[in-house]
A and B are shown apart, each in its own frame.
Chain A
Amino acid sequence: MSTLLTRYLNDTLANDVPFSVPAASEITDLSHLINKLLVAADGRSDHKYVEFDFLINGQFLRMPLVTHMEMENISTEEVVEIEYVEKYMAPQPEECIFHDDWISSVQATEEWILTGCYDQTARIWSLEGKSIMTIAGHTEVVKDVAWVKQDSLSCLLLSASMDQTILLWEWNAEKNKVKALHCCRGHAGSVDSIAVDCTRTKFCSGSWDKMLKIWSAVPTDEEDEMEEAANRPRKKQKTEQLGLTRTPLATLSGHTEAISSVLWSEAEEICSASWDHTIKLWDAETGGLKSTLTGNKVFNSVSYSTLCRRLASGSTDRHIRLWDPRSKDGSLVLLSLTSHTGWVTSVKWSPTHEHQLISGSLDNIVKLWDTRSCKAPLYDLAAHEDKVLCVDWTETGLLLSGGADNKLYCYRYPATASDVGA
């Protein structure tokens, strides 16, 4: 028999009396208890039964209390503080958007979803799953897409492709017209990842040619001079170029293998994950290398949460690892989230919740994680029939995942639940 002290953040139950509960009790038992207490405190009979989740020292309770405490080495002699939060509701499936080919990337805003596709196009969809625009222009597979800016009239968006270019597009939502503004040339390999900074004036790109390049995202009317234009006159004649050529503002080299994922972690800090088993943090202004986090597997994807200031990485093993980028040289892996059975191709932190993230894997499953429960995910979203290649999480609580089965799945996830008990 262990004694537990429930700490109530709910006003109705503001007392510090410890409750004695059976050691073998599980989540449902504790839930019943809390519900009864709430009814008693309310004094009303119309209390609706609420399911709760429980946290002990910041870890979700997923098994009987005594087993959990044994595993966590918590003494049963002392008073245990158990925190309760309302149980997160399962993500509700909303849309399934069919593509013509594999979906390589997805990014959504409040209104639209932008996807990159292996049929060399980028597509814009409404949240209801209606195809609004197909942006064709690349000569190779589109590997990554990104929104730059959304005004009422026109939106700026980016698409990176295996044809070594990044195209900056202007999309007029009202007229539904799209126009290639700039063609960013400079990479000597497939551009696998792009990220736009928080000021929406710059973006960076990581490529198979091991280079990280920073570009301006501001549309201009001038064409940058290509340095080696003279070298390849034939090439220029041959390919009909879309938009004006743009050259990078800066090139950061340091990776010894392909860069698989880039992001802006802070205003002037770029984080890049690479196949050379490292995550590097760069100073975007000076172009210098700030620190290196070394793993032992190829990194497929990396994501940064401004809420908890952690990096999450997906690699070519089964684990999602959480890193603290500020640790110097310790390259500290804070946590491993293990439940996938294939490579983790894509991870994305929740923009609104500091503990939650989503991951997609080659085992066809998208998993919703809470970092307080690292052994098991909160939910498995097993809708895909083939490899999951990209996931996204919008601020409005929409989970998106696209994969090699040509389908983009949308889930509505109640973001409100994240605040209870937190």
Chain B
Amino acid sequence: MAALGARGSAALPARLRALWALPARRALAADAGEGKAAQPKPAFTDEAVQTLLYKMTGLDLHKVFRPVKKGLKPPHYKLMTEAQLEEATRKAIEEAKTKLIMPPVLNEREPIDDVLAEDKVLEGTETAKYVFTDLSYSIPHRERFIVVREPNGVLRKATWEERDRMIQIFFPKEGRRVIPPTLFKDENLGTVFQQDRHEDVLNMCIAQFEPDSPDYIRVHHRTYEDIEKHGKYDLLRSTRHFGGMVWYLLSRKKTDGLLIDMINRDLLDDATSLITLYHMLHPECQSAKEAKEQKLEGVDLIKVFVKTESQREGYIQLALQAYEEAMATSSAS
């Protein structure tokens, strides 16, 4: 997907870059070459895209601050005035916003394949390979030297999996294990999905893997596929994974289920922002052109989109009808 390519990382605002602890950008020749493309495709990290995705995520305080399994403590009651209560709610909303920052969506990383030296003299002297890690404290983990001396005398840079393991051994991070848990294997993921624990899987995945590792991307895609298959979109609403899921569905044009779910829950604003994002990502489709010409808003935008782009037209029409009837009865009564 070109949208998630190097352009995305190049256009990252400094704020997000610092937040996701990515190294400072070095000038890449590839970026200069890509500037010739017809129109810059919106990346996951654009401000406009992020605002729309964030609006769609919703801010259900009860779900964000739902009790996490910690030690048992008796509840703490406070007596507050109205003003203090407002202040506390405002602070809670600020905290919820930090909790809802979306994890980065990056391309899969290129495998490392670099030989530093070949010493045929050393062939046959050793039986096992040596992995040397540079333990200097002030180097970012991405730039650390981790080299492997094979028994046949070749000195090469370590692969990404070896790098992750060594860095976890010497600089352990909380929530990450040296050998990834068997939960992330494909056959075990199905069991977890049946228990509706998609969010826990995604949280564990973020703790365990780097955002550009193939395992991270595979687990995330499996989760999104499963959610889309069973229509369990509400599980991720008001969590930080919602944006990533919407981005995935948009790039693959599988937005119908999500649209139906939003209309059924009377979230018209979210539906319109979804379609706006769709038009931003795929500007060449017909409904995008019509929308731009006629400057449609709200329900009309949805209707145009449904006519031209969706596969499950019937369902969406039904949902829209039900919604309009509900609106009519509620406004009449």
Chains A and B form a bound pair = no
